Amino acid sequence: MLQRVSTPSHADLVEAFGPDTGHLPDAEAVGSTADDWPAVLDALGRSGWPTSPDVAAAPDTDENPTLAVHPLPTVQVNFFPSWGYVAFDIDLRELVDQHSTDAVLAVIALVGRSTGKPVVLMHEGGGSESAVLAYDPSTDEHRLLRERP
């Protein structure tokens, strides 16, 4: 049975990834293309979250292959505008409590809302079949995808 939650708990999200799956889960807006990046960059710019480099410079993918976004000073989300679709990763080691987990969930929701596409968070290098969490912009909900025992 799939667990449906609008805000997964820190403990449930960390447990869903398991202990030996890598520290840098990948995320993507499903079905996105390079054409979706302007909406994402605009939303990130309006978010007020610090970025490095400045979000206005991010479309220059030759010089800025990675855009680091900090929804909290201790949480970094890395976006990859040069990949041809909306992709980013997080560091599970930075998810130390519910506050940091909520910050990452807010970034995932921002990407989904700005593209109008579902966003999945997957095991590092695992592809969409390893998705652990999905965000659906039509319902504005995050959902853990792992099976419950």
Domain residues for 121? 2-147
pLDDT at position 89 is 97
Half-sphere exposure of 120 (CA within 13 A, CB side): 16
pLDDT at position 1 is 31
pLDDT at position 56 is 66
pLDDT in tens, the chain (149 residues): 333 446 899 999 988 988 776 789 999 999 999 999 999 999 999 999 999 987 766 555 555 579 999 999 999 999 999 899 999 999 999 999 999 999 999 999 999 999 999 999 999 888 888 899 999 999 999 999 965 44
Sheet holding 26-29: strands in order across? 2-4, 141-147, 131-136, 119-122, 26-29, 87-89, 75-79, 67-72, 51-52
Say how many domains are in the chain: 1
pLDDT at position 55 is 72
pLDDT at position 18 is 83
